Each structure stands twice: as structure tokens, then as C-alpha cells.
Structure 1
Amino acid sequence: MKTKVLTIGLSLIGIVAIAQKKEIRKAGNAIESGDYKEAKSLLTSVEGIISNEKERTQADFYLAKGNAFLAAKDQSEVNIEDLITAGKSFQKAIDLGEEEEGKAGMAEVKRVLITAASEDQTQQKFSESAKKAYAAYNLSKKDTLYLYHAASVSSVAKDYDAALGYYEELRDLGYTGRGTIYTAVNKETGDVEEFGADENKRDIYVKAGSHIKPSTIKEDSKRPDIVKNIALIYLQKDEKEKAMKAIQQARKESPEDTGLMLTEADIYYNLGKMDKYSQLVEKVIETDPNNATLYYNLGVTTSKMGDPEKAIEYYKKAIKIDPEMLNANINIASAILNKEQALIDEMNDLGMSNADNKRYEELQKERNDLYKEAVPYLEKVVQKKSKESAEYKQSAQILSQIYSMLGETEKANALKD
């Protein structure tokens, strides 16, 4: 009697197994016909008991489920939850031995998510873009570049809580983003195309003749920016102690990292501690004395601290290193011309006595000397900048006024024309 019961039980299991396979086949047919809702329903009806089946049947089930949830994207806007479900299903199929189809499905899920994230960013849907990029990263926890994208666009969206979580995860992972990108120019379009870190793929296209001018781009570490953004988000949330703790912890790990020094300096700048800012930047300059940008930045903060003469010194050092740094020229001219207001105020307060008239002439000469001192820097900007740029227009307008004040009418009219 017991044997008969066992036989009937085994028969029932066989019937269930046949039914499950039948539902999986039906789901496959539904996917092919575009009836994704029906495919999902059929797969859901057998999911609860699929774990009792052989690994081959389970793998077929998860491949079908992955395809059903992935293919649903064709009927509507990309649904993150559907794609996450598809990715998990493909991963289970891989774990059950269906590596080829499972990995192909997983790669397609990631491609769809990243494409959608890129389109969202183009349309300035930054929060949506971040969620899709993070979903792509979360499928395998390997593509940290997607996590970095999620953090960056969350910051742009001012979703600081999400951005903070992403940046802290990047920090804890030790992500640097440092690497090499291989590029080549597409002969047909003339555009520079990136091949990521795949040098061989780039070289194949070049050898085939479709691409020319192969090039290599070295990417610097993004870790200083990551730590900086963590700190700045804490500042945004008015959590100053956490901001300083974040950067100081990173500095302990890499005390000679100039990027982290500048990040700490930026925090002091945001806190209004200009003396601390200047000390750190000066320290960085000692290690990198030929960095024009450092001198320029130090000039900006020194100017804000109310020391225009010292600021001009820094700007001049920046220009000596990089003669084409036109913003430094603009700021020197601005610092010089800012001295004019004190002269004007004194001129307006003078009376009509002989002594006052004499002083007025002295002040007028000092004023003209300021103009003459500022002219070469403004002329450099006008010579080098595009006429459509804001820097050109502003500099040309000021320069024209100075020429008029100095009696150089021909030059003033030339700029006006």
C-alpha cells in the first residue's frame, strides 16, 4: 500500500513538472508575440514551486522571466523595477549554469538602464538618471563608474541625501576612477570616439581603416573630488563638523595628496576661514610651484580678504607660468581699477580753494595712472578672446571708456565700432 502511495506521489510531481514546463513554454510564446503581461502572469503562476524542479528547468524559468521583464520595456517607458527583476532573474540563471544566455541578458539589462540614464540626463531628469545608473551598478556591484554617475547627477539634482549615500559608498570602496581611455577619430563622421579601456578594440577599428588618429587619455584620480563633495554636502546640510571630519580622515590616509589639500582648503574657503585657506594653498604651491591655477585661486581668495596688492602678485605669477590665462589678466585689471573709487571719493569731497584744486589735479593724475596700468591687461583679453564672449564684451567696454578718459579717441571709437 505504501508503494502505491509513493508511486502516485511521484506521478503527481511529474504532472506538476510537465505543467511548469508547459507554462514556461507558453510564457516564451507570449514574449515572442509581444504579450508581456500574459508572460508575466504565466511565470508568476508557477514561481512558487519552481524551486522543487531540476536546475535545468529552474534555469529555463529564470531565463524566461528575465526576458519577459526585459522585453516589457518595448511597450512603455523604461521601468526600473522591471529591469531590476530581469537582472536578478538572469543572475539566477547564470548561477544555475546558463552562463551564456544569462550573461547576454544581464548585459542587455545594463545597456538599457545606462542608455535610459543618459537620455534622462540629456533631458535634465537628473534624479531619474541617477536611479537608473545606480540600478545598473547594483546588478553586479562591479561597474563603479555607474555609481559615480549616480552620485554626480544626484548632486546636480540637489538630491543631497542620495548623492551623499552614493559618494560615501564610492569612498568606502576606495574608488579612484583613475585609468586610461583609448580614442580614435571616426573617418566618416569626423567625431572622436571613445573605446573605454579596451585598447585592442580601438586598434582593430584603426587597422580596419574606419578610424584614424588613435589617442590615449589618462584620467586623474577622482578621489579628492569624491571626498570634497561629501564634505560640501555636509556643509550644505549645515553639518560642519562632519564635513571637516570627512576631509581630515582622507588627509590622514594621503597626507601629501595635493588634491586633498586643496579640497580641505576649499572647505575652509566655504567656512569663510580665508587665512586657513591661504596657508594650505601656499603649502600646495611649495610642492607644485609651476601650477598657474593655484596662484590664480590664491589671488581670488586674497582679493576677497581685502589685500588687492597681494592678489595682483599672485595673478602675475599665474600669468608668468601661463601667459594665456586671460582670467588672471581680467582680475588684475579689476584689482587696479577698484582703487579708483577711493580717489573719486576724495575728489568729490574737495572744495574750490587753490590747495583743493591742486590736490584735485594730483588725484586726477593718479586716476589716469591707474587707467594706464590696467590697459595692457585689458588689451590682452580683447586681443585673445572671441568677440562673442562675455569676457571680450566686458573688457572692450571698459577699455573703450578708459581710452576716452585718457583722450585716445581713435582707439575708443575703434572698439565702439
Structure 2
Amino acid sequence: MKTNILILSAMFCSIVGFSQKSEIKAAEKALKSGDAMAAKSSLESASSLIDAADEKMQAQYYFLKGKAYSELAKKGTSDAFDEAISAFRKVVEVEKVSGKSKYSSEATGNLSSMTVDLVNSAVEDNNNKRFKEGAEKLHLGYQLSPKDTIYLYYAASSAVNGGHYELALDYYNELKDLNYDGSGIVYKATNVETGEVEEMEKTQRELMVKSGAYKDPIDEKTASKTTEIVKNVALIYTQLGQDDKALEAYKDARAKDPKDVNLILNQANLYYKMDDKDKFKTLMAEAAEVAPDNPDLFYNIGVINMEQGNIEEARDAYKRAIEINPGYVNAQLNLSTTYVNEGNGLIDEMNTLGNSKKDITRYDELKEQKDSLFRDGAIILEDAVKQNPDNQGLLTQLKNIYGALGDNENFMRVKKLLGE
């Protein structure tokens, strides 16, 4: 009886092996005819027992699986790239153990060519705003070709564009761990026939210049991306609400490039978000020294001084912003508002005064000061309207000032300009 059982078992194994070979052969045939989906289906039928097969059959199976999935990947099948890469790597692994290399060379070649397919597919994903898919494919491309660190950099950028900040952070931290710089040299030469400057590989350029088809070779060094990476890490931490980590990242970034005005501004904005107005003010002043012709800097310095009650400093900042950009409406409105607010501040005291001669005299003094401040605010807006005659915000505030002054003539003039 035992003998019969053994014979049946052996027969069963033989049938399984035959079935696997049949499915693998069917997959091979399907691939030759260009039907990757049919090949995938045949391979799935053989997959459950492939681990029990001999190494020769395993290598063939994984090789065909890699080819099937790489074809499906080109056609846009989700996760096909991962499956193809895993399969081709398994080919090399199996044949390394067996000591044979029937498929390893071609599998390795397919892995190399898949890098190009991944990048092309990622570009298409990004063009169609599938940023996460594009980022993951670029990261896979980098894993397949670690020397091409630029793919990892682009993967992080793609993730940021899609708002996938935690994924981007992982990629940026990989770049930091690699001490990625991103700088390089671009080789250019002038096309003699067209007169246009063209970019090409170094060796190709040398040959083209020697041939006389190109002239005036130029080597241009591209900027380092280190500061940009650290800055983006800080921005992501800010976006994720991890302010302490963001501050550390800004500290690292500014150590590398202390004069980068965008870094200073981003760091200042973080302190503003954290309600540290003094630190914000200090950094904005530092930024103004680095970029003395940036009107937005002075506008923001004016805003924070205005919030802190430093009226004269706020006015100086707004005036500088307007000096740089004469049509800066928000700065003009805020500058006018500093005078209106100061005038309004006198009204409280005016309302506390009585009817004595002394109080009446004081009331008249305060009223004149208030009206003078309101007129100063109006003068600023009148000048601003000359630059932006249709700006509703300027005209509305100007109308309100004339109304508060009791200047009915100018009130009606501006009201007419507003179309009321």
C-alpha cells in the first residue's frame, strides 16, 4: 500500500511540473505575439508552485514575468514597473545561486532600459498632474540607476508639486544623506550654420567643434541645489506643522547661504506664524539690508511695526516701499491708515473733555491735530489715485476721510468717481 501511495505522489509531481512548463511556454508564446496580458495570465497560473520548481524553470519564469510586466508598464498598468523590476532582479538572484547565467545578462539589460521607460512615464504623469505616481516612478528610476541622483531630486520635486509633502520629505532627506549637490557642467557650442548655441555631451561637442560644424565651446557651471533642498525641507516641516524641525532646517540652510533673501523671509514668516513678532522684525530688517530694493520687504516691515504700535517706523517702511514702487496700492493704503488711526486716537480724549474754557481750548487743539492727520492721509491717497484712478479701495478710503473731515465738496467728488 505504501508503494502505491509513493507512485501516485510521483505521478502528481510530474503532472504539476508538466503544467508549469505548459503555462510558461504559453506565456513565452504570448509575449512573442505581443500579448503581454495573456502572458501575465499564464504566468499567474504557474505562480503558486514556482518556488518548488528547479532553478532553471524559476529563472525562465521570472524572466518572462519581467518581460510581461515591463510591456504592461509601458502601456500604463498600475504597479507593473514594480513587478517587472522585482522579477528581473529575481532572475539574477536565482541564477547566481545556480551558477548559470542564461537570462541574467538580458534581465540586467532590461533593468537598465526600464530606467528610461520609468522616466518617460513619470514625465507623462507629471504633465497629467499625476504627481505622486510620477514621483514614485522617478524614485524607482533612481533605485535602478543610483548614479543618476538627479532622478531622486526630480522625484522630490514631483511630490512637492502634488502636495505629497511627507513623501517629498523622505526623498529630500535621502538627498541630504547622500550630500547631494546637484551642480554640474553644461557643455555648449554655437552651430555655425544656424548661429544658435546648443547643449550637448562633452565628447560629442569636441567632435563637432573639430569637424568645424560648431564653434565657440562654452562650459557653464550649474548652481548647487543644496540650499534649495534644505529650504524645501524647512518649508515642508512648516506645512506639516512641525515648527521646531523647520527652525532647525532653516538654521542649516542659512549656514550654507546666509545671504539668501528667500531663506530669510521664509524663516521670518515662520517666526511670525509662531507669534514671535520681535524675531520676525529683526529678520525682516536683515532681509531689507540684503535686498534694499525689494518693496515687499519694506511693506511687511511696515505691517509688523504697525501691529506693534511703532507708527513712525511703519511710516518709514511704507514710504520706502512706495519710493521703490510708486504704484504699490497696499503700501499707500496702509500709510494713509497710519495717519487716520493716529487721528482717531485723539477722539477718545476729545470725548472726555467738558465745557470749561480750558477744555474747549484743548478740544479745538485736538480737533485741529486730528483733522491735520486726516488731511495727511487724504494727500497720500490723492497721489495714489493719480497712479491708479480706478482703484476702488483707494477711492473708498479717500471718500471716508473726506466724510470724517466734513469736506462735502471733496466727498461728493470722490463719491462720483466711485460711481455712487
TM-score tier after normalising by the smaller chain length: 0.5 to 0.7
Structure 1 position 154 matched with structure 2 position 163: yes
Q: Who is 1:415 aligned against?
A: 418
Q: Give the equivalent residue in structure 2 for 1:138.
A: 139
Counterpart residue number, 2:336: 333
- What is the aligned partner in structure 1 of residue 71 from structure 2? 67
Return the offset for 1:310. Answer: 0.2
Residue 267 of structure 1 aligns with which residue? 270
- 2:59–2:90: 8 Å Cα contact kept in structure 1? no
Find the counterpart in structure 2 of residue 215 from structure 1: none
Please name the residue that 1:222 is paired with. 228
Change (3 A) 1:85 1:397: farther
**Number of residue pairs matched by the alignment:** 349
Residue pairs, 1:269-288, within 5 angstroms? 269-288=272-291
State the partner residue of 2:365.
362
Instruction: Work out whether residues 298 and 321 of structure 2, in 8 Å CA contact, stay in contact via their aligned partners in 1.
Output: yes
Secondary structure (helix, strand or coil) at the match of 1:338 reads: helix
> Residue 414 of structure 1 aligns to which amino acid in structure 2?
L
Shift of 1:270: 2.9
Task: State the SS of the aligned residue for 1:137.
Answer: helix
CA distance in 2, matches of 1:110, 1:349: 75
**1:398 maps to amino acid:** Q
CA distance in structure 2 between the aligned counterparts of 1:385 and 1:219, rounded to whole angstroms: 42
State the superposition RMSD in angstroms: 4.5
Residue 232, structure 1, aligned to residue 238, structure 2: yes
Q: SS where residue 319 of structure 1 aligns?
A: helix
SS at match of 1:351: coil
2:308 and 2:182 mapped to 1: Cα distance?
35
Q: Aligned residue for 1:398?
A: 397
Query: Relative to structure 1, is the Cα distance of residues 411 and 264 closer, same or farther in structure 2, using a 3 angstrom cutoff?
Result: closer
Matched, 1:252 2:255: yes
SS of the residue 1:154 aligns to: coil
Contact 1:224 1:260 in 2 (8 A): no
Could you tell me which runs of 5 or more consecutive residues in structure 2 were left unpaired when the two chains were aligned: 1-14, 93-103, 143-148, 186-197, 201-222
Which residue of the partner structure matches residue 170 of structure 2? Answer: 165
Whole-Å separation in 2 of the counterparts to 1:17 and 1:108 = 30
SS at match of 2:162: helix
**1 CA distance for matches of 2:29 and 2:87?**
18
Matched ranges for 1:20-31 at <5 A: 22-28=25-31
Give the alignment of 1:82-101 within 5 angstroms: 82-86=80-84, 96-97=105-106
CA contact (8 A) 1:68 1:86 kept: no
Contact 2:63 2:87 (8 Å CA) reproduced: no
> Which amino acid letter does the alignment assign opposite residue 280 of structure 1?
L
Task: Note closer, same or farther for the CA distance 1:269–1:40 as it changes in structure 2 (3 Å cut).
Answer: farther
Give the residue type in structure 1 aligned to 2:238.
L
Deviation at 1:386, TM superposition (A): 9.3
Pairwise mapping of residues 31-50 of structure 1 onto structure 2 (< 5 A)? 32=35, 38=41, 41=44, 44=47, 48=51
2-side partners of 1:376 and 1:87: how far apart? 71
Shift of the 338–66 alpha-carbon distance from structure 1 to 2, 3 Å rule, reads same
Q: CA deviation at 1:313?
A: 0.6
Q: Which amino acid aligns with 2:368?
A: K
Q: Shift of residue 139 of structure 1?
A: 1.2
Q: How far does residue 52 in structure 1 lie from its aligned partner after superposition?
A: 3.0
Q: CA deviation at 1:342?
A: 0.9
Task: Tell me, in whole angstroms, the C-alpha distance in 1 between the residues paired with 2:46 and 2:378.
Answer: 77
8 A contact 1:36–1:71 mirrored in 2: no
Q: Is the 8 A contact 2:254 2:263 kept in 1?
A: yes
Letter in 1 for 2:294: N
Q: Percent sequence identity over matched residues?
A: 25
Contact 1:43–1:61 (8 Å) recurs in 2: no
Paired letter, 1:310: E
Contact 2:68 2:84 in 1 (8 A): no
Question: Over alpha carbons, which structure has the higher Rg?
Answer: 2
> Is the CA contact (8 Å cut-off) linking 2:264 and 2:287 kept in structure 1?
yes
Which range moves more in the overlay, 100-109 or 163-172?
A: 100-109
Which TM-score applies when normalising by structure 2? 0.64
Q: Which position in structure 1 is the counterpart of 2:315?
A: 312
CA pair 304-51 structure 1, distance change in 2 beyond 3 A:
farther
Distance in 2, matches of 1:33 and 1:225, equals 44
- Counterpart selection for 2:374 from 354, 366, 371: 371
Question: Is contact 1:154-1:162 (8 Å) kept?
Answer: no
Task: Give the counterpart letter for 2:72 in structure 1.
Answer: A
Q: Contact 1:399 / 1:412 at 8 angstroms: preserved in 2?
A: no
Instruction: Verify the 8 A CA contact 2:272 2:280 in the aligned structure 1.
Output: yes
Contact 2:135-2:155 within 8 A present in 1 as well: yes
Structure 1 gap ranges (5+)? 1-11, 74-78, 122-128, 181-197, 201-217
User: CA deviation digits over 1:289-327, x for unaligned, max 9?
Assistant: 333333223222222322122011112122222334333
Amino acid in the other structure paired with 2:82: I
Match for residue 186 of structure 1?
A: none
Q: Which amino acid aligns with 1:264?
A: Q
